[in-house]
Amino acid sequence: MTAVNLDELAHAALIVDDGEGSAKALVARDTGMIHLLNDEYMDEEAPLPADVEAEGNYVSVPAAGELGLGDELVLRFAAQHLAGDQAGVREMLRTDDVDGFERLLEERDAAEAWERFRTEETETALRRWCEQHGLQAEGHPG
């Protein structure tokens, strides 16, 4: 099985998520190298290979949200650790208020719990995705 670096895979999933359709990432099945592609950026260390069109050679990296690592992750955390603040957290997500969420975490002394939860859930989701695609997860997401 080909090894894929989980930190790089997590980064690629976030780029695809942030790209809102304009960014794409592919994992080469034979090397585990991740190729990032979008309209504004081409990865010089991992340029687009000539055989990218060959069926089965590459796996598209899903957006972080498709892996349950976007708003869904925040809501799962809120349900477990910020039960009285769930409505506020939903509103912060709706308005994209990242600073508000960070303030709430500090106010509730939950920042460390959030980081642990986010890291564990991210690793679990990425390892599951790798298994589903016949890839070997390596390392830990940053």
Same domain, 13 and 52: yes
pLDDT of res. 132: 95
- Amino acid making up residue 55: E
First to last CA, the chain: 23
Percent of the chain with pLDDT over 90: 63
Residue 124 forms part of a structural domain: no
On the question of pLDDT at 5 being above 80, the answer is yes
Q: Stretch 40-53: mean pLDDT, rounded?
A: 60
pLDDT of res. 3: 95
- The pTM of this model reads 0.83
- At 52-78, the pLDDT tens digits run 666 678 999 999 999 999 899 999 999
Residue 53 forms part of a structural domain: yes
Residue 8 forms part of a structural domain: yes
Of 68, 56, 66, 62, which Cα lies nearest the Cα of 2?
56
Whole-number Å distance between alpha carbons of 43 and 72: 29
Same domain, 59 and 107: no
Q: Stretch 108-122: mean pLDDT, rounded?
A: 96
